[in-house]
Amino acid sequence: MNGIYLDNAATTKTDEDVLNEMIPFFSEYFGNASSLHSFGKKAKVILEDSRDFIAEFFGAVSKDIVFTNSGTESNNHAIKGTAFKYLGSGKDHIISSSVEHSSVLDTLKYLENRFNFNVTYIKPDRFGRIDPAEVLNSVTDKTFLISLMHSNNETGAVTDIKSISDETDDKYIYIHSDTVQSAGKLKLDLKDLNINFANVSAHKIYGPKGIAAIYIKNKTLTDKLLHGGKQERDLRGGTENIPLIAGFKKAVEILKSNMKKDVLHYEKLNLLLTNGLKEYYSDGIKFNSDSVNCLPNIVNISFDRNKLKFDEEMLLIQLDLKGIAVSGGSACTAGTLKPSHVLREIGHDEKTALGSLRISTGRNNSVEDIIFFMNALKEIVRIK
């Protein structure tokens, strides 16, 4: 498919080497990793080799990595699994933020509505970051879980999770962080973050969709989310998807070799984009992504309707007609003309949020892509 793809925060293109790595496990090495015969043993080897490699890259140990089918499942497992362990214990308080991914917010609302858990939602700063001091001030003697994303999927803002986990280390509070967007853009050492739960999705790092991992720190108690089997250390029932796990491992192998180059590439494209937008639109454009403490591959922008002429509801469609794929927010909440909840929370009115753009670059983007995008945008969003 031709066109310029600038929506890499939603998903990345699966690397060709990853595709080639998976093929034998659909055909030649097709055994069930739980089977005791030679077919199963071969599958078991790639399962555990993949677990070892992925764990090491993200600063974990192998036994703390559990394969799941998505970041959404991983978030549900961490939050529900912990909450159900505390049912009836007298501890019923969770701290999160109002700008979390929908898989976190919807899970928390479910726990509030069905099981009467109490949740405090911390408001972000104007770039989507959460103030650690405000989180710590919200802790009570009934708090058992803090769930905060490491980097925001819409603005790219990075929150200082480690300062929160270090300060609560002696309070018997579990820390869950959605680290999906951070993988491949920041050094992600899960042991150093001092958290109990984190998650990584292969399709965010040029691997296949449908495979992810949850990090569960040693001896962290959590209820099982999927019952029906003893797979994954009896933490997740179901036959492991060996072809996709092999692809996940290959994506991490490539990332290990390329990450430094990738990040420099993202920073170069980010600088070109932000400087070009500032130069042309001046104060008619507002950046929802900060220049510091932010992922290098995400630029989120809004437009001043008093200075610029554009159609909020047609903006994404007009860019798509020019062969450019960008987003107005998270792909998990897209598909409708509703404004991003993240942009509303950082202070934008509904129309401004609706007309905002998230441009997220990837390994395969070029300087020419950014220039093409900016020239197309100038034709669609005009200076009055």
* Catalytic residue annotation: 332
The 3-class SS string of the chain reads CCCEECECCCCCCCCHHHHHHHHHHHHCCCCCCCCCCHHHHHHHHHHHHHHHHHHHHCCCCHHHEEEECCHHHHHHHHHHHHHHHCCCCCCCEEEEECCCCHHHHHHHHHHHHHHCCEEEEECCCCCCCCCHHHHHHCCCCCEEEEECCCECCCCCEECCHHHHHHHCCCCCCEEEECCCCCECCECCCHHHHCCCEEEEEHHHCCCCCCCEEEEECCCCCCCCCCCCCCHHHHCCCCCCCHHHHHHHHHHHHHHHHHHHHHHHHHHHHHHHHHHHHHHHHHHHEEECCCCCCECCCEEEEEECCCCEECCHHHHHHHHHHCCEECECCCCCCCCCCCCCHHHHHCCCCHHHHHCCEEEECCCCCCHHHHHHHHHHHHHHCEEC
> Mutual orientation of helices 38-57 and 242-281 as an angle, nearest 10°?
30
User: Distance (Å, rounded) from C-alpha 157 to C-alpha 262?
Assistant: 19
Dig out the tokens for 28 from the structure: 């030649």
The torsion region of residue 156 among left (phi > 0), alpha (psi -120 to 50) and beta comes to left
